[in-house]
Amino acid sequence: MEKGENMRRSIAMTIILGMLGVTACKKDEGKQEPASAKAAEPGTAAKDTKDTKDTKDTAAKPSSDDPVASTGVTAGGIKHDDQEGPAGVVTAAKGTVEVRRLGETTFEAAKADTKLYPGDAIRTGESSTATVTLADESVIEVAEVSTIAVTSREGTADPASAAAVLAGLARFTVTARAPGEGAFRVYTPAGVVVTRGTVYGVGVAASGEVRVGVESGAVDVIGLTQIAETPVMVDGGAVVVLDASGTVGSPARWPADDWGTWRDDTDAKLELNASIDAHADAMAHLNQLLLESYADLDAAADSIATFEANASVAADKGDVKTYEASLPEGAATIDASFSLAGRLELFTWAYASHATLVTDLYVRHPADVKWEVVAPRVDAAILWPKRYEVTASAYLEPLRMQYYVHHPRGRVNAHFVGVAVPEFYANVQAPTIEPARVRGRVKSTIWLAPQVTYTASARPVWVSWPSVNWRANVKVAPAPFRANAGWYVRPPTLKAKALVGTNVSGKWDSRLTVAPPQPRASLHAAWKVPVGMKIKIGAPDLDAGAKARASWKLGAGGGMDVRDHRADVKGKMDVHAPDVKGKLDVRAPDVRTEVKGKLDVQAPKVDVRGGANVGVRVGGKASADAKAAADASARAAADARAAANAAANAKASIKIKAPEVKIKAPSFKVKGEAKGGFKIGN
């Protein structure tokens, strides 16, 4: 990337972060604040009310009587500025391919090179296909009569592309994860598929039943009703089905791609009216879950604001003990916030999927669908993704920077994305955050971030929005098919009369009033909590992050050693440690390191399908032999001790000094509490 563009991106990022301090937004007079909302983004819908109770009470008892008003936002697109690159690009379009922008109510024609941003949906018509390339260089192939969406890159602590299959079929060729990158996610109406570098297909039948078939690699599947349970691992050559309620079945052998047959057989069993009622009930239930989850995120946001403000004051005073004492809870709340974000993203796209399916059925069978019952919920399905994007832009994006500063995993991954942790914070050891502490920070049931297997790569990992011209440097293609016929073939004779092969005879027109598009930067005004304002982080050094990712090496037995790039302390893994002074505690899924006068590296813990972690894989294969893993850990520990002795003899390696960082205390006084909360909604 050219230096000029680097500088422009840095300036743009600084401006956007600065706008987070905006706390005011317009309210319509005589309007009620929707559940779990504290203020409005411009153009927010609301309804009349005489209720003047405190918003905290409202958030505690959310109401979903009006699905549209409960979203807290109104229809209308988002303007993306010249510095914001797309999250994906349509790289091939055959036949009828259309796009609906986030917050808009209508589809328009799409073609090759159409840019896609978070929340945008792509749909195909009969005998039509599309190919989408995402910013992480993963590729999506969309079959006929299918709808997918590009989802947020801000929803996870470690940045990663993601998508949703709302209806029909899609095939994913997911790139291997680069150091500092999160797991790739695919959302469905029944659950989420979490991957690291895999080729697989996802099918969503008209009933909401979901099927995941893995061609190579492995995926982990989390059911909508099984969020806190151990994910189901599906290896290459296997397939698993999630019923419409969100329960994951047992993996079965899958020797050949049979997506066309599966879809036809499954849709042929559809009972239309029962399916319509089921979709309506699912949307009503998800609406309530979304409101409750946003209320939970609201409470977490207040805690984060208080922690950040107090940490800033501690840094200004050089008060290490105060910061150290608050760090475990602060880091756990950051973790919990991103876990809540994952829950919200899953519910958002599950809701959107049910709405897509019921609409697809309605336009083909208008006389048989009780449209008046589901129409308001279908309209709300357009707005929930917009609300999530407001949350991602205004809260999760700046929270990610705090993750790099305060969280043990974030500390080590900051180096891989070129983020420099301010010296005061880096000098304080970040403790291990136990899952129980994270889960205890929120009321909602959450899953925790999965373990990720990395592959050395200089491929860009975009911390905020991707570069404007990233597509020009990307030349990728879908993985080869397992058979010459291709991954999706429509049966010559169709048994199903639900979607494929059925003429569109009805029409859906949204009842929403669409406002003019608003700048993405204005979304920050929807949050009163100024996360990221007290502890400011410089723009990422993209070149430094790329070099660190390219030099990453996995040692024998899965061990990790850390090398400071000025000291030449070498081990099995060649990774530059962040520039810090004093002691450094770096904790990632597979690394625990402390620099404290010596180098102490512990061997990784190999988790064989235990707990909420999505398993640890070495070289892409799951560890199945606990004894072998223990032996490998012992070898890694021995290597680590050798590295420690080498480090002790290398004086230069211990004298690590970071650039001086001056942190000014905030202009207001903090007394252990910072109020503000969730500002989405009018």
Residue whose pair of structure tokens reads 């914001």 in the numeric block: 84
The DSSP secondary-structure symbol of 131 reads: E
User: How far out from the chain centre does Cα 82 lie?
Assistant: 23
Q: Are 43 and 517 in contact (CB under 8 A)?
A: no
**Closest by CA position to 225, among listed 207, 205, 210:** 210
**423 with 323: CB under 8 angstroms?**
no
Q: Which stretches of 72-209 are assigned E, i.e. beta strand?
A: 76-79, 88-94, 97-100, 108-109, 115-116, 121-124, 129-134, 139-142, 147-150, 162-173, 184-187, 191-195, 199-204
Write out pLDDT tens, residues 118-159. Answer: 999 999 999 999 999 999 999 999 999 999 999 999 989 999
In this predicted structure, the answer to whether residue 93 has a pLDDT above a threshold of 80 is yes
- List, by residue range, all CATH 2.60.120.1440 domains of the chain: 80-262+473-482
Which tokens belong to 394?
Answer: 């205004």
pLDDT at 666 over 50: no
- pLDDT bin (cut points 50, 70, 90) of residue 63 is low
What is 244-290 written as a DSSP string? TTS-B---EE--S--HHHHHHHHHHT--HHHHHHHHHHHHHHHHHHH
Confidence band, pLDDT 50/70/90 cuts, at residue 452: confident
Residues 186, 150 contacting (CB under 8 angstroms): no
**C-alpha span between 164 and 120 (Å, rounded):** 10
Mean pLDDT of 598-618: 33
pLDDT on residue 528: 65
pTM, to two decimals: 0.76
Residue of 290, 309, 304, 380 whose CA lies nearest to 337 = 304
Amino acid at 414: A
State residue 64's pLDDT score.
Answer: 58
**Confidence class for position 665, pLDDT limits 50, 70, 90:** very low
- As a whole number of angstroms, the distance between CA 89 and CA 145 comes to 19
Give the number of residues written for the chain: 682
Q: Phi and psi of 674, rounded to 5°?
A: -130, 115
pLDDT of 603 higher than 60: no
Provide CB contacts within 8 A for 640, sequence distance 6+.
Answer: 559, 561, 571, 599, 600, 601, 602, 603
Tell me whether strands 515-519 and 210-216 are parallel, antiparallel or unpaired: unpaired
CA distance linking residue 680 with residue 40, whole number of Å: 5
**240 close to 211: Cβ distance less than 8 angstroms:** yes
Q: For residue range 152-206, what is the model confidence (pLDDT) as tens digits?
A: 999 899 999 999 999 999 999 999 999 999 999 999 999 999 998 899 999 999 9
Residue type at 293?
S
CA triplet 587, 589, 591: central angle to 5 degrees?
50
Residue 536's pLDDT is what? Answer: 83
**Of the options 3.40.640.10, 3.60.21.10, 1.20.1090.10, 2.60.120.1440, the CATH number for the domain spanning 80-262+473-482:** 2.60.120.1440
Tokens of 134: 């995402």
Are the CB atoms for 157 and 335 separated by under 8 Å?
Answer: yes
pLDDT at 558 over 80: no
pLDDT tens digits, 467-487: 999 999 899 999 999 988 899
The SS3 call for residue 167 is strand
